[in-house]
Structure 1
Amino acid sequence: MIRVMLVDDQQLVRAGLRMLCESDPEMEVVGEAADGAAAVRLAEQVHPDVILMDLRMPGMDGTTATARILAQRPSARVVVLTTFDDDDHLYPALASGACGFLVKDASPAELLDGVRRAAAGDSPFGKAVLKRLVEQALRAQSAPIPRQAPPGVTEREREVLELVGAGLSNPEIAARLHLGVTTVKTHVANLMTKTGSANRVQLAVYAAHLP
Structure 2
Amino acid sequence: MIDTLSPTARAAGARRHRCVLVVEANPAVRREIRNLFLARGFFVNSATRTADAVSLTDQDHYDVVVCDVQPPGIDATELTRALRGAREAPMIVVITTAPLSPVMEEAFRDGRLLILRRPVGPAILLAAVERVLAAFEAEARSP
The two structures have a TM-score, normalised by structure 2, of: 0.70
| Shift >3 Å, 4+ stretches | 57-60
In percent, how many aligned pairs have the same letter? 29
Q: Deviations over 1:130-155 (max 9, x none)?
A: xxxxxxxxxxxxxxxxxxxxxxxxxx
Contact kept in structure 2, 1:54 and 1:80, CA below 8 Å:
yes
Does residue 68 of structure 2 align to residue 54 of structure 1?
yes
User: Structure 1 CA distance, aligned partners of 2:20 and 2:66?
Assistant: 7
2:92 is aligned with what amino acid?
Answer: V
Aligned partners of 1:56, 1:73: CA distance in 2, in Å? 27
SS of residue in 1 equivalent to 2:94? strand
Letter in 2 for 1:43: T
Tell me the SS of whatever aligns to 1:121: helix
Task: Give the structure 1 partner of residue 40 of structure 2.
Answer: 24
Q: How does 1:193-208 map to 2 (within 5 A)?
A: none
In the alignment, residue 122 of structure 2 is paired with which amino acid?
P
Shift of 1:9: 1.1
TM-score by length of structure 1 reads 0.49
The letter of the residue matching 2:48 is: A
User: Any conservation in 1 of the 2:25–2:74 contact (CA below 8 Å)?
Assistant: no
Number of aligned residue pairs: give it: 117
Aligned twin of 1:11: 27
CA pair 60-53 structure 1, distance change in 2 beyond 3 A:
closer
Give the superposition deviation at 1:95: 2.2
Q: 1:70 aligns with which of 84, 87, 91?
A: 84
Deviation at 1:60, TM superposition (A): 5.2
Distance in 2 between residues matched to 1:65 and 1:73, nearest whole Å: 15
Aligned twin of 1:95: 106
Aligned position for 1:117: 131
Bigger share in strand: 2
Higher relative contact order (CA 8 A, sep 6+): 2
- AA of the residue aligned to 1:100: L
CA-based RMSD of the aligned residues comes to 2.2
Larger radius of gyration: 1
Gaps of 5+ in 1: 123-211
**Post-superposition CA distance 1:17-54 (Å, at most 9, x none):** 011111213x221x211111111111111211111012
Structure-2 separation of matches of 1:109 and 1:65: 25
The 1-side partners of 2:32 and 2:101 are apart by 23
Residue 69 of structure 1 deviates from its aligned partner by 1.5
Q: Does residue 41 of the first structure (1) align with residue 55 of the second (2)?
A: yes
Distance between the aligned counterparts of 2:94 and 2:60, measured in 1? 19
Gaps of 5+ in 2: 1-14, 137-143
Query: Deviation at 1:120?
Result: 2.8
Deviation at 1:5, TM superposition (A): 0.5
